[in-house]
Amino acid sequence: MKKTVIEIEYDASFKKKEIRKTVKKNGRKLVERTKVDVKDPKCWEVITVQDNSNWMPGQRLTEAQFKLLTKMNSTTVRIGLPGQFRKHGNNRGY
């Protein structure tokens, strides 16, 4: 049986989310933005998958799903930083 090769990127920006509050000061309405921690962040993104249909490219994984994936003997997991395996924000391919 072939081993499944999965490339995963870690993106720490998904650990926090932005909350907007409207605050009245001096007769004006202001928007106050704060960053709050997410309870179960999905920081791991599947980039490519070879020989497996359980995981899809673009799927985001929680910490528990990532640990389960790395413990499996039938998979080889390659881990990278954002943009290492795939360039973000450019659809032209360069």
Residue 13, pLDDT > 60, answer yes
DSSP the chain: -PPEEEEEEE-GGGGEEEEEEEEEETTEEEEEEEEEE-SS---EEEEEEES-SSS-TT-EE-HHHHHHHHH-TTEEEEEE-TTSSS-SS-SS--
**Does any domain span residue 85?**
no
Asked if residues 75 and 67 have their Cβ atoms less than 8 Å apart, the reply is no
pLDDT at residue 32, rounded to an integer: 92
**Does any domain span residue 63?**
yes
**Does any domain span residue 94?**
no
Q: What is the mean pLDDT of residues 7-13?
A: 88
* Domain count of the fold of the chain: 1
More confident residue, 26 or 90: 26
- Calpha distance 73→86 (Å, rounded): 26
pLDDT at residue 18, rounded to an integer: 92
Residue 94, pLDDT > 70, answer no
Residue 15, pLDDT > 80, answer yes
**Does any domain span residue 46?**
yes
- Rounded percentage of the chain residues whose pLDDT exceeds 90: 33
The range of the structural domain enclosing residue 22 comes to 4-80
